[in-house]
Amino acid sequence: MTRSIDEITNGRRMRRNRRFEWNRRLVRENTLTTNDLIWPIFLIEGENRSEPVKSMPGVERFSVDRAVKAVKEAFDLGIPAIATFPDITFEKRDALGSEVLNPDGLINRATRAIKEAVPGIGIITDVALDPFTETGHDGILRDDIILNDETVEQLCKAAVIQAQAGADIISASEMMDGRIGAIRDALNEAGFTDTAILAYSAKYASAFYGPYREAVGTDKMLKGDKRTYFMDPANSDEALHEAALDVAEGADMLMVKPGMPYLDILRRIKDEFQMPTFVYQVSGEYSMIMAGVEKGFLDRERAMLESLMAFKRAGADGIFTYFAPEVAAILNGQKSPGSTMDH
Ligand code: PBG
């Protein structure tokens, strides 16, 4: 070496701040807490029933009574909110996704039961039609086209019904144009001016939703793909336009989905709008980590926590994650490092 290291770095040795755990803690820029977690859960009909989602090791679908128990535990762990997704029987699915308008449908019954038993937890329900249509599409399909405006009408009605059942946040995960403003109007007209709207602003046409589609039973039904309404993974500026429209139309919070492959989008949206910004660690991300863990290639706890910290670093305020109860237990010190807990 012709120059010494101190000549090269001007005496700046970055490793000084990494020497001890106490000084790594002092200079840490981001923290993950239970306040960041949103737990998505899958619902099924029946009583005292749960069934495993095969492609998501450790994840189960719950009947409403079991969901209530699970949500109570989540609340006790400090998780601020849950999000529900139903797996209804195939006979109830039709072209228009009519079951989404049933005030006593699975989602709405779960909302009422959870509200009553666990009033302190936030409930997020979704108006997308995919669990209700016979095509597995998020909107109404006619002549090979997903109809935008007709779908939005359906979403507006669903939003009011979900708000009536007690949902605190209505989420729109189907990427139809104009739906945020239309849902805001519908909620306001029905007197739900305080019900919030979470816009899935940048939702990509992603391979990482595969396991979710098994969880809600759309895997075998889906004809074609969702590329005429979800975003092209190649685009980034377009996500900012989507988010700008959602903000202008009255969204209370924005979402980027999937998470890990789209950290750049998360950062851009957070920087541009400084809105509450959520990210969804989707089923495929969960299953990828779990598959690595099951094969012995990854350390479960470290992989899980690192994947969530990456979202905080990229600007997320809230994280939808199937790991939520396990992570909350770890963060609360209720779970010893390295142990395994299935939720
Ligand atoms: C559709 C919807 C999807 C997810 C939740 N709602 C995507 C899809 O099936 O196209 C994915 C969630 C996940 O993968 O965890 N409205």
Protein residue closest via CA to atom 7 of ligand 1: 209
Task: Tell me which residue has tokens 């495929």.
Answer: 284
Evaluate: CB of 203 within 6 angstroms of ligand 1.
no
Q: What angle (nearest 5°) sits at the alpha carbon of residue 278, between those of residues 172 and 34?
A: 125
What number does the ligand 1 atom closest to the CA of 216 have? 9
What number does the ligand 1 atom closest to the CA of 138 have? 16
Evaluate: CB of 253 within 6 angstroms of ligand 1.
no
In a domain, 309, yes or no: no
Q: What's the structural domain count of the chain?
A: 1
Return d(Cα 85, Cα 73) in angstroms, integer: 18
| The total number of residues written for the chain in this structure | 343
**Of 294, 300, 297, 319, residue with least CA distance to 309:** 319
Alpha-carbon separation of residue 75 from 41, 167, 268 (angstroms) = 13, 16, 31
Coil, strand or helix: which one is 142? strand
- The pLDDT value recorded for residue 223 is 85
CATH number, residue 193 = 3.20.20.70
Evaluate: CB of 128 within 6 angstroms of ligand 1.
yes
- The pLDDT value recorded for residue 309 is 98
In a domain, 315, yes or no: no
In a domain, 269, yes or no: no
Ligand 1 centroid to 201 CA: how many Å? 14
Evaluate: CB of 300 within 6 angstroms of ligand 1.
no
In a domain, 190, yes or no: yes
Ligand 1 centroid to 114 CA: how many Å? 22
SS (H, E, C) 50-62: EEECCCCCCCEEE
Protein residue closest via CA to atom 14 of ligand 1: 209
Return d(Cα 54, Cα 67) in angstroms, integer: 18
- The pLDDT value recorded for residue 342 is 43
In the chain the beta strands, taken as DSSP E runs, fall at 37-44, 50-52, 60-63, 81-86, 122-126, 140-142, 145-147, 169-172, 196-203, 253-257, 277-280, 318-320
- Ligand 1: residue of 212, 223, 260, 283 to mutate (most ligand atoms within 8 A of CB) is 212
In a domain, 1, yes or no: no
Contact 87, 242 (CB under 8 A): no
Q: What is the mean pLDDT of each run of 10 residues along the chain (343 residues)?
A: 96 97 97 98 98 97 98 98 97 97 98 98 98 97 97 98 98 98 98 98 98 93 93 98 98 98 98 98 98 98 98 98 98 70 41
Residue 72 catalytic?
Answer: no
- Ligand 1: residue of 85, 138, 155, 320 to mutate (most ligand atoms within 8 A of CB) is 138
Evaluate: CB of 215 within 6 angstroms of ligand 1.
no
Its domain, for residue 126, covers 31-254
- The pLDDT value recorded for residue 339 is 45
Position 329: which residue type? A
Return d(Cα 191, Cα 261) in angstroms, integer: 39
Evaluate: CB of 87 within 6 angstroms of ligand 1.
no
In a domain, 49, yes or no: yes
Residue 92 catalytic?
Answer: no
Evaluate: CB of 114 within 6 angstroms of ligand 1.
no
Ligand 1 centroid to 176 CA: how many Å? 14
- The pLDDT value recorded for residue 336 is 56
In a domain, 83, yes or no: yes
In a domain, 287, yes or no: no
What number does the ligand 1 atom closest to the CA of 209 have? 14
